[in-house]
Structure 1
């Protein structure tokens, strides 16, 4: 149970000589050699005593002060203690931990910026979809901080134990989180491109075509392989990582397990997940970017359509996956190795994730909130339509100068009512004022009163076609309601039937005799003695027989 690296030889030393054959000395303290041998204690070259159950340090100032006959040491320091100074691996881990802490703060700022809503939620584009990439960024940063801060104690522990287990455990979580981060950024970029197409025209893309089905099943496919990597690597006994206390133990326990079938299969699952990211990016470019013909034009179009951050993050994620594949076959460069190669472990094991975090943060600060960008696009489309229609909008300060930005809904309704003449104006439009109230003259209202005096057109019942409902003298409620509807319809939807009729009559009479009238045949349009709204029941046909025959001059006379 002593500390060795893989390339050192295991040396068992004889107990130091003491005053006699049953005495030994550790750090100037005498111990009973018979008792030590009775409890199977062995002395190792790194200054530790161990009987495969307990391990104690024997060099100053950590040497035991007393040994009891039952094999118990008094005031002894166990081997699994952080007593050694920080080495290169620890200092490098501190530097990377600080960088990841800065990345975590930047990621939280980007989450607050891009996760805020300025538009109502849409069922087709959930708000959490844009936040997942930042959630995974926070997850990766948190796992990296735990892994790197416990990495400091790997060198400080005289015998490898818990710190190297925690460091290795959270490093594999960093790999999964980093791949998921890149996936969510690529997936959401495609969703954002679709949203910009759908916003001006909701029917530009169908929701049941092949494109929509691929975008529905692709996340399920990706997370299936990512979670397969999780279940193959994480839920297991991790005690094999600390079993590097001697070359024999490393060769027998640590290396076979670290390069076993489960780690190889888990790395293969991440390879499939990374290929899914590449396919998703190609799918989004194909459907949401301009298409070109020809191999050269397609290549140039693909290069132009690729966002710069994906040119950086996708290869970095691929490098991280490649490192996990490498250490599943080669123990020399493994992050789980007790005295591994520090530049390889940190540059290849922790570097890609850190760079992806900062690339994402740079994108987050440089790009606007998507809701704000969508509002700006809507504003630009509205300005374009206004220019085409010749509409000139008042500047934004207009409402504030007039105080309209302080109006409540009631104030706005009152303003609209006042623009059409207030209550009296509405009554004059829809009911008609008696002559006694207005004096029979226009009082400044846009449309004059709709009484019978101002509207001489009278139907058979004696009520103007745009007259008020109270002019109706009958008792039928249905007829009364019909007159109200007719009055409002005439005001809201005015027509020019009478001017058009007069124009047609003038046009016809210009080339020939006047149009046909009933008086020509000896009968009037209104029977004598009949008032408005009344009908003469006479069946006299004398005038019709005595009248001259009708002469048809045009089709309008028929």
Structure 2
């Protein structure tokens, strides 16, 4: 109960303008002029702008004419003893601080890269769950340490607001941690699934687009929870200085429609997390037939840490909803039920954090695990092909390793090729030398063809064969040197031996398709009805061949 000071009803001091509070004399006229009110329930004296403590040892010595108290203590000072709320909060804060250390260790372990970063799987995706864990630890520490001043303040003020403000942020952070853990597990399953064959799953199909929009849907509802809770007038929560003030201001503000709607948004976030878990199991784990087999497979394929984390996350949502309907169990109340507050408000968050940390210690780094899987697949393929890989020490034992380190090898290669502008000159010199060698080889090949085809023989028919038989056909175009040389030889042979070339062409046409060389047939004797050429002979085939003495015989 609170009442206005009525000095006429109180014991009179030395005179009619004097009053006594806690054995100290004050001027009654001054107190009435500045509209001070005395609250015996908490031993405070206050008006619209000032509040002072009136119990020992904080009682002021006197009051001035301008309403200022001498040697006074403000009501908004931490003068009380630490209560049970602060003691339990300190114990929880110590555990959260230790958890922060282990979270940083897991972040370093799982955030390291041992493989080149892929555009499809960003490294930050595996780190988000640990970033949210750091956020949860930081907000919980602030909330728990500000809870100390909630007990020590005689008049509730800023500490109760800071306590519940960071507690709500901690609730949102732990829901985001569970979501990122589930989402990244699905991404890790996809990465293992496509590692043997990157083209087995498309990115723009129905599955890929669902995985693209689902995180946006989750964070939309999480931010809706944030905007329904945080941007508000928190002053009514401070009005718990008397039972009447608590019922009039604090209770309606702590159980309004915005807190209830925020609980619904947080529940949608939990449902979205379960949908993401179901989606990953459906697409990246073996499928079961039948409703009951699928339900059993859903819980069987789910990692054990999610079996613990998802019910605890639902407990977080349930307690936030309970606070929105029952003020007596809410952390927003100064003298709340501490068992309900710490058991429902902080214990589920701390357990989720512990499960996440233990799971991080038991799981290997994903890049290292992927390297191990690739090595096992390579060994299985080698066994199927019958290949036996030598161990790494085999080459060193057999001296198959070049001396020196990698820097010496690079320097040796640079000395062989050259460096800077000398390197360019060396390349030009090598190119010129190779071009010259190619030209020389082409000239030698042309000279060899001409000498072989143009040499003189003792046999007329052998000369005809050597001159009239075309060289082997080349499938390449006429732009090559060899093709031009062959045509030159054919033109020269047709000029030197025109008739023989025609006869050879005729014999070749007549003998085509028989699979025999025309030049291997015995020469025909010219009859009376046949025309004789200058190279034909009427002698017997057993006689000596005709000798060509000069170009006039041709």
What do you get for the CA RMSD once the two structures are aligned? 3.2
Matched residues in 2 for 1:546 and 1:50: separation?
Answer: 132
Please name the residue that 1:488 is paired with.
none
Q: Is the 8 A contact 1:13 1:43 kept in 2?
A: yes
Please name the residue that 1:327 is paired with.
323
The offset of 1:315, in angstroms, is 1.0
Is the counterpart of residue 134 in structure 1 residue 130 in structure 2? yes
The offset of 1:35, in angstroms, is 2.4
Q: Aligned in 2, Cα 1:550/1:204: closer, same or farther, shift over 3 Å?
A: closer
Please name the residue that 2:409 is paired with.
411
- Greater relative contact order (Cα < 8 A, sep 6+): 1
Pick the structure with more helix per residue: 2
1:32 to 27, 31, 40: 27
1:164 to 148, 160, 165: 160
Q: Is the 8 A contact 1:90 1:155 kept in 2?
A: yes
Q: Aligned in 2, Cα 1:71/1:384: closer, same or farther, shift over 3 Å?
A: same
The offset of 1:66, in angstroms, is 1.8
Matched residues in 2 for 1:39 and 1:528: separation?
Answer: 137
Q: 525-534 vs 45-54, which deviates more?
A: 525-534
The offset of 1:525, in angstroms, is 10
* Counterpart mapping for 1:449-468 below 5 A: none
1:419-475 alpha-carbon deviations (Å, 9 max, x no partner): xxxxxxxxxxxxxxxxxxxxxxxxxxxxxxxxxxxxxxxxxxxxxxxx976332179
Q: 290-299 vs 115-124, which deviates more?
A: 290-299
Matched residues in 1 for 2:356 and 2:269: separation?
Answer: 20
Please name the residue that 2:384 is paired with.
388
The offset of 1:551, in angstroms, is 9.1
Q: Is the 8 A contact 1:523 1:544 kept in 2?
A: no
Please name the residue that 1:89 is paired with.
85
Q: Which of structures 1 and 2 has the bigger CA Rg?
A: 2
Matched residues in 2 for 1:411 and 1:52: separation?
Answer: 84
1:255 to 251, 254, 259: 251
Please name the residue that 1:202 is paired with.
198
| Secondary structure of 1:245 counterpart | coil
Q: Is the 8 A contact 1:332 1:340 kept in 2?
A: yes
Structure-2-length-normalised TM-score: 0.75
1:263-306 alpha-carbon deviations (Å, 9 max, x no partner): 11111111111110010000000000000112332222212101
Q: Which sections of structure 2, spanning at least 5 residues, go unmatched?
A: 417-436, 447-460, 472-485, 495-499, 517-554
Q: Is the 8 A contact 1:27 1:63 kept in 2?
A: yes
Q: Aligned in 2, Cα 1:257/1:405: closer, same or farther, shift over 3 Å?
A: farther
Q: 292-301 vs 151-160, which deviates more?
A: 292-301
Please name the residue that 2:274 is paired with.
278
2:349 to 342, 347, 353: 353
Please name the residue that 2:428 is paired with.
none
The offset of 1:24, in angstroms, is 2.8
Q: Is the 8 A contact 2:467 2:501 kept in 1?
A: no
Is the counterpart of residue 527 in structure 1 residue 470 in structure 2? no
1:470-513 alpha-carbon deviations (Å, 9 max, x no partner): 3321799xxxxxxxxxxxxxxxxxxxxxxxxxxxxxxxxxxxxx
The offset of 1:52, in angstroms, is 3.5
* Counterpart mapping for 1:174-323 below 5 A: 174-323=170-319
Matched residues in 1 for 2:508 and 2:219: separation?
Answer: 99
1:171-215 alpha-carbon deviations (Å, 9 max, x no partner): 111111111111111000000000001111011101111100100
Q: 176-185 vs 292-301, which deviates more?
A: 292-301
| Secondary structure of 1:208 counterpart | coil
Q: 160-169 vs 239-248, which deviates more?
A: 239-248
| Secondary structure of 2:325 counterpart | coil
The offset of 1:347, in angstroms, is 1.0
2:169 to 168, 173, 177: 173
Please name the residue that 1:43 is paired with.
38
The offset of 1:388, in angstroms, is 1.6
Please name the residue that 2:501 is paired with.
539
Structure-1-length-normalised TM-score: 0.75
